[in-house]
Amino acid sequence: MTKLLICPSERNAVRFLSQRLPLANVPLLGESLLEYWLSALAIAGVKKVIILAHDRPELALDVAGAGERWGLEARVVNESRELSAAEALLKHSPELDGVPAQDAITVLDHFPGLTEQSLFASYQSWFAALRRWMPSALMPDRVGMNEALPGIWKGCHAHVSPQAQLRSPCWIGQHVFVGAHAILGPGAMLEDGCFVEPGAELTESWVGPDTFVGKYAQIKTSLAWGSTLLNWQTGSETQVADPFLLCSLRRARRRPTAGRFKKLTDLYERNKGEAGLLWKHLQLHKQG
């Protein structure tokens, strides 16, 4: 059985989420939406998956590879724009082995099994879907996370002070540090690599990966990623100027563009030529 997955391009209602990564790649409790779907399809017995990606398709390829992690065959197709379900079916129907259209195509705008819970209609719907997904995030092929207490999930490499207050439901990812007297929850979700100082408070909020939360921070009903704070109820966005309150712990890597490679090559060739002329001049000078 073959399945078509359509990765969503930008959605104006949740533009903040796609600024760093494509929507299908944004970490949602430690894994991307694409990873959750590939796990669910493998469990359902799907053997071949075609991933249609328009927004930064190379990042979809970084996640999916050839599908070997899930024991299936995966292929990423770079589309010139996001296709509708009907367009995808028309273009790729020869590869679907006669599978009915309603079973063959999925737009990645919801979690597996939660078709009625849209992720990208608004920040409110995104947060509600993520909160509801917490008990289901531990897919059968996932290791390193466990339910430490009822409704509290924690990575095995996370460090949480015994003096911290954890209120269910709460998600603490891998390599997260939570200091003494910090208050997490209800509804607090910390992605991998976060650092929460002693005394900080997070309620009904999501913190993106590798984000520092200072001891004076009180984050409520918000998304915090790097130095950006966005209220998921109102959509209001703020850039926090004080890095002792909120900041990114890791600078995003930028891939060199083809133009940069060309400049480096030209510089090398020019310098190589000049070095060659200088060498010849020295040899002639010795001979003279």
Same domain, 205 and 287: no
Q: What CATH number is given to the structural domain containing 189?
A: 2.160.10
66 with 167, same domain?
no
Could you tell me which residue, 97 or 135, shows the higher pLDDT? 135
Number of other CB atoms surrounding residue 101 within 10 Å: 14
pLDDT at residue 275 tops 50: no
| 121 in Cβ contact with 94 (< 8 Å) | no
Share the mean pLDDT of the chain: 88
**Residues 220 and 186 grouped into a single domain:** yes
pLDDT category of residue 230 using cuts at 50, 70 and 90: very high
Can you give the CATH number for the domain in which 34 is found? Answer: 3.90.550.10
Q: Are residues 276 and 222 in the same domain?
A: no
Is the domain of 225 the same as that of 282? no
Q: Exposure of 45 by Cβ count < 10 A (0-12 exposed, 13-18 middle, 19+ buried)?
A: exposed
pLDDT digits (tens, 9 = 90+) for 30-43: 999 999 999 999 99
| Contact between residue 54 and residue 7 where contact means Cβ atoms under 8 Å apart | yes
User: Which residues span the domain enclosing 265?
Assistant: 260-288
pLDDT in tens, 155-180: 999 999 999 999 999 999 999 999 99
- The total domain count for the chain is 3
Q: How confident is the model at residue 24 (pLDDT cuts 50, 70, 90)?
A: very high
